[in-house]
Every structure is written in structure tokens, then in C-alpha cells.
Amino acid sequence: MRLILLGPPGAGKGTQAQRLVERHGIPQLSTGDMLRAAVQAGTEVGKRAKAVMDAGELVSDAIVNAIVAERIDQPDCARGFILDGYPRTLVQADAVESMLSERGIGLDTVVELVVDDRALVGRIVKRADDAKASGQPVRKDDNPAVFEERLREYYKKTAPLTGYYYAKGKLKTVDGMASIDAVTAEIEAVLAAAAKAR
Ligand code: AMP
């Protein structure tokens, strides 16, 4: 199964992706996690991405496309994967199409988590508080000021992807304001329906 999770920052993509990993045994490919790992490791990519990420802006398409293209060739992706936080621009969406068609594979479904913007900043603040409380590092971009920029970037560059995938007949929307368990159940129902339709 190859799946894209769409939605603004704080919509719950990461949480739901982790549940899908457990249930379906396919990896979560989070470009945010990969970029943070690169920053942590001090690689060339990490050095170029750090300031952009700290400001809440998007890293260049060329960088993220290259990271994902390399990642999907790893053996653990052979049975499928969940793209979390990628693609985030139309250029990236076109890159996904090319990457998959070059490998003779396709995309099964795009699930959009639909959320109320007003709830998002509260979720981000909670994520930062939870990280702090459990002794984990707090993401530099999980604060209200940077969050506003992340949301602006989302509307400018990522929101058009819903139309892109809708036009391709791939888009399924899920109520991201429901409880975590209810969202998981709704995603599973969407995936089951998509599998049946194949
Ligand atoms: P995330 O963990 O998905 O919220 O991503 C954190 C940050 O990493 C974003 O605010 C961007 O700066 C960068 N990032 C993650 N994924 C992408 C992407 N697909 N395209 C561009 N930048 C990205």
C-alpha cells in the first residue's frame, strides 16, 4: 500500500502514520523527521535546511525530492509506505508521480485530515509541552510565532494539492477533529474501501 497523508501542521499526520505503521507493517516516510535527522547529524543537507526549518518555511523541492527518491528504494519500502508531510508543493507532487511511474508502481490513496485551524496552534503548544514533560527535545518550530508561518506556507503551497489529488480521483477526506481512535478508524475504513475498489 502506498499512501499520502495530507493536512496542515498539527493535523495529526504523524500520530496516524505511526498507527498505520503498526497495523500494516510498512514504514512511515516523514520528510520532517528525515530533515531533522540530517540537521542533527550535521550533514550538508542538514546545514542547508536548518535555518529554513527554524523559520517555518519549506525546504527546497530539490532537496526533499532527492531524499524521498533515495528512501523509497530501501528494501523496507518494497511492500509500500506512508508519505507523511510529503509532498508539500505541486512540484513535489509531480516528482512523486515520476518517481512511482519510473519504478512501475502507483499511489493507492491520498488521505486528507481536515481540521479546524483554530485548534491547531493549541495542538502544537501541547506537543511542545508534552515533549518537555517527557524530557524529549522540543522542536524549535513548535511555537505559536513560527507556527503561523508554517500555516501560511501550508495554505500557499500545500493546500493546492487537495485539488490536484481530487482531480485525479485519489483524494479521501477524513475528519481530523475527531478523537485519535476515531480518526484511525475512519482512515482504516477509507483504506478498506480503496482496496475493495482495486
Ligand atoms: P514537519 O515535521 O512535517 O512539520 O516538517 C518540519 C519542517 O521540515 C517544515 O516546516 C519544513 O521546513 C521542512 N519540511 C518537511 N517536509 C517538507 C517538504 N515535503 N517540503 C519542504 N519542506 C519540508
Q: Residue 177 in contact with residue 86, Cβ under 8 Å?
A: no
Relative to the CA of 68, which ligand 1 atom is closest? 19
Relative to the CA of 56, which ligand 1 atom is closest? 10
Share of the chain above pLDDT 70, in %: 100
Separation of alpha carbons 164 and 144, rounded Å: 29
pLDDT of 197 above 90: no
Average pLDDT of the segment spanning 108-127: 92
Mutating to test ligand 1, I would choose from 53, 91, 157 the residue with most ligand atoms within 8 A of its C-beta, which is 53
Residue range 25-51, pLDDT digits in tens: 999 999 999 999 999 999 999 999 999
Residue with the three cell numbers 500520530: 15
Average pLDDT, the chain: 95
Stated pTM of the model: 0.94
**pLDDT for res 139:** 86
| SS3 label, residue 169 | coil
Share of the chain above pLDDT 90, in %: 88
Residue range 120-162, pLDDT digits in tens: 988 888 989 999 999 998 888 888 899 999 999 999 999 999 9
**pLDDT for res 198:** 77
Average pLDDT of the segment spanning 88-106: 97
Residues with CB under 6 A from ligand 1: 9, 31-32, 35, 52-53, 56-59, 64, 85-86, 88, 92, 141, 150
